[in-house]
Amino acid sequence: MKPPPGAVAILHEGRVAHLATVDLDCRPHVVAICYVFDGENLYSVIDPKPKRVPPERLRRVRNIRANPHVCLIVDRYDEDWTKLSYVQVHSRAEVLTGGDEQRRAVRLLREKYPQYRQMPIDSGPVIKVIPERFVVWSAEGREFTFPGRPNQSGAASRG
């Protein structure tokens, strides 16, 4: 699914997103991630920075494998609160552990983040986020859900 025009710049320009997953007991887990948006999907690699467990045992990976429904948010913060905005991406996710799409995601992540150029992430698992619905909000009044239905006032639902 392609994002609405108001979301594209935020998704391309954002440096950090927050990924929410849920386990089988409906316990939420949110983690900050580096990501890349290719115009259709979002990708985040499990990089080799120190972690307490191997990549396949990370809570976000276990949660995605148990329940692929995720939500990701990218926001623009400014001390001038009239410039605030965000894109919320309701999605399905999967973990890529090899193949052309995983290698392409790593290449795109290295293009976006210079820090990844020296990291051994070539074979790292990649979380693929497949958008199903976008919620876009801005303090300037541009708010809509895509796809979505207008609420009774004619404004778009906040989702």
pLDDT in tens, 30-44: 999 999 999 999 999
- What pLDDT is recorded for position 147? 54
Q: What is the mean pLDDT of residues 51-57?
A: 72
Q: How far, in Å, CA of 113 to CA of 44, rounded?
A: 11
Is residue 152 predicted with pLDDT exceeding 70?
no
d(CA 153, CA 141) in angstroms, rounded, equals 15
Set out the domains of the chain in order of their start, with CATH numbers: 5-146 (2.30.110.10)
Note if the bond before 54 is cis, omega within 30 degrees: no
Which residue from 35, 3, 4 is spatially nearest to 18, judged by alpha carbons?
A: 35
Residue range 6-21, pLDDT digits in tens: 899 999 999 999 999 9
Alpha carbons 64 and 87: distance in angstroms, whole number: 21
69 membership: H or E segment, kind and range: strand 69-76
